[in-house]
């Protein structure tokens, strides 16, 4: 009977560990469906990007108030989970606050700091719930946020609030049990924030208080395990994916488009220009552009899993602001949804990313301005997916809008999008010379 709590703890931890491992393997397998692209150059610059953008949240501070609250949640949740390490050790070995006698007064200071962060997380989560559900900030009301995406965001905030309350309740009950001389409750010193709960907790008998403390302890650790599993199905996967995503983000200038090497080489050969690398023509049956997720690169697919659904990209998109259907956030959410469906049903399910998830009307509305890329706090590139799907429409289906086809023809014949010859390109300047 003495070891039953430890056995139960190990079984619970093992159960969640197995589910999390299986889910991570599925996500990794889905990302690997993408085409290979080499993003291993300039490691120092990539590491700098990851530290500044993912860990330092550099791009978040373009909007300082939500950025500060988000940082409070982020730092608070990470540091508070240091206490989870002690809980795990206690759960495995059947101890209670094993670090308290070792660290002494330092332990008291650490827990007080963790409680301060817990209160900060509580405050921030409440503010974010108000912003989403009462103030109803415009970027949280877009069509792609109806239903599960909105519920998902609220669930995470509520779960974080409950976990923080559990920490404070556990610490408050623990301190009272220390003063009553209850078995196994090590002296830790006073904790400022949880001490505020004494008036409510002190009315309970010792046996009831032990039950409250143990219930809060189990709720917190099982809640952490469940939270870790849940985020792998949630948009909050960006908590982890932001780091590799920013590390592997493009280092080229944002306005630079990635050309198809096979097409570029063919055009150079037609013009008699030197060709670098492989000069062979495109292989037979090669698909130009992207119709489905396996036509995109693995980095595009990683972008989809790293999307925070914050809507900053959509709120900056000029097409969306003028009433067009294009939403860069929806592009990323659709890509992730397609990836999940492919992971369950395979690629041959009669569907494709372009057509069943993303429409031609959406991608044709894009102005290629890169506002979405600049706005994203974790360096996601929705424009790259838009460009690749548009390439498929233009080159494989020959279904580009008529106005585009005219422009393409003019570029091919006149080396400019306008319908007049090269020799007439500067005729407009004659009027200036004549003083008209």
What is the reported pLDDT for 187?
87
Q: What is the 3-state secondary structure (H, E, C) of the chain?
A: CCCHHHHHHHHHHHHHHHHHHHHHHHHHHHHCCCECCCCCCCHHHHHHHHHHHHHCCHHHHHCHHHHHHHHHHHHHHHHHHHHHHHHHHHHHHCCCCCCHHHHCHHHHHHHHHHHHHHHHHHHHHHHHHHHHHCCCCHHHCCHHHCCHHHHHHHHHHHHHHHHHHHHHHHHHHHHHHHHCCCCCCCCCCCCCCHHHHHHHHCCCCHHHHHHHHHHHHHHHHHHHHHHHHHHCCCHHHHHHHHHHHHHCCCCCCCCCCCCCHHHHHHHHHHCCCCCCCCCCCCCCCCCCCCCCHHHCEHHHHHHHHHCCCCCHHHHHCHHHHCCCCCCHHHHHHHHHHHHHHHHHHCCCCCCCHHHHCECHHHHHCCCCCCHHHHHCCCCCCHHHHHHHHHHHHHHHCCCCCHHHHHHHHHHHHHCCCCCCCHHHCCCHHHHHHCCC
What is the reported pLDDT for 279?
61
What is the arithmetic mean of pLDDT over 243-261?
A: 86
Kindly report, residue by residue over 410-426, the tens digit of the pLDDT: 888 887 888 777 777 77
Give the CATH number of domain 286-397: 1.10.1060.10
pTM over 0.85: yes
Point out the least confidently predicted range of 107-111, 219-223, 263-267, 309-313.
263-267
What is the reported pLDDT for 436?
54
What is the reported pLDDT for 281?
62
Reply yes or no on whether the pLDDT at 61 is more than 60. yes
What is the reported pLDDT for 410?
86
What is the arithmetic mean of pLDDT over 137-141?
A: 90
Boundaries of every domain in the chain: 4-31+63-236, 286-397
Kindly report, residue by residue over 35-44, the tens digit of the pLDDT: 999 999 999 9
Kindly report, residue by residue over 366-421, the tens digit of the pLDDT: 999 999 999 999 999 999 999 999 999 988 888 888 888 888 888 888 878 887 77
Q: Which of 2-11, 240-249, 270-279, 280-289 has the highest mean pLDDT?
A: 240-249
Mean pLDDT of the chain: 89
Reply yes or no on whether the pLDDT at 278 is more than 80. no
Q: Which of 252-256, 275-279, 328-332, 427-431 has the highest mean pLDDT?
A: 328-332
Share of the chain above pLDDT 70, in %: 97
Kindly report, residue by residue over 165-191, the tens digit of the pLDDT: 999 999 999 999 998 887 788 888 889
């Amino acid at each position: 009977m003495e070891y039953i709590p430890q056995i139960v703890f190990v079984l619970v931890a093992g159960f969640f560990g197995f589910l999390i491992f299986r889910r991570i393997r599925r996500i990794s397998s889905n990302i690997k469906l993408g085409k290979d692209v080499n993003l291993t150059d300039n490691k120092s610059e990539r590491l700098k990007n990851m530290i500044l953008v993912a860990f330092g949240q550099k791009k978040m501070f373009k909007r300082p108030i939500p950025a500060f609250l988000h940082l409070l949640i982020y730092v608070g949740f990470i540091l508070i989970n240091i206490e989870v390490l002690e809980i795990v050790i206690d759960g495995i070995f059947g101890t209670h606050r094993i670090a308290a006698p070792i660290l002494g007064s330092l332990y008291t200071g650490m827990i007080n700091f963790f409680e301060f962060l817990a209160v900060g997380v509580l405050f921030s989560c409440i503010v974010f719930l108000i912003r989403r559900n009462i103030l109803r900030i415009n970027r949280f009301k877009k069509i792609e946020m109806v239903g599960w995406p909105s519920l998902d965001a609220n669930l995470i905030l509520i779960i974080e609030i409950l976990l923080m309350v559990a920490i404070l309740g556990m610490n408050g009950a623990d301190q009272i049990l220390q003063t009553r001389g209850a078995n196994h409750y090590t002296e830790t010193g006073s904790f400022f924030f949880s001490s505020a709960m004494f008036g409510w907790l002190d009315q309970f008998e010792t046996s009831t208080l032990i039950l409250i403390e143990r219930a809060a302890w189990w709720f917190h650790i099982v809640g952490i395990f469940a939270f870790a599993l849940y985020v792998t199905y949630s948009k909050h996967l960006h908590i982890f994916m932001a780091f590799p995503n920013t590390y592997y983000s493009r280092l080229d200038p944002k306005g630079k488009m990635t050309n198809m090497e096979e097409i570029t080489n063919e055009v150079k050969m037609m013009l008699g220009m030197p060709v670098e690398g492989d000069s062979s023509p495109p292989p037979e049956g090669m698909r130009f552009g992207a119709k489905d997720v396996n036509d995109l690169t693995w980095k595009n697919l990683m972008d989809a899993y790293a999307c925070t659904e914050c809507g900053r990209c959509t709120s900056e998109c000029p097409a969306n602001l003028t009433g067009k259907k294009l939403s860069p956030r929806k592009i990323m959410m659709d890509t992730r949804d397609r990836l999940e469906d492919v992971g369950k049903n395979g690629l041959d399910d009669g569907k494709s990313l372009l057509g069943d998830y993303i429409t031609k009307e959406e991608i044709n509305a894009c102005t290629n301005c890169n506002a979405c890329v600049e706005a994203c706090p974790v360096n996601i590139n929705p424009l790259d997916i838009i460009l690749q799907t548009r390439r498929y429409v233009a080159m494989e289906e020959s279904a580009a809008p008529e106005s585009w086809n005219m422009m393409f023809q003019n570029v091919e014949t006149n080396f400019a999008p306008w319908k007049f010859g090269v020799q007439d390109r500067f005729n407009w300047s004659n009027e200036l010379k004549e003083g008209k």
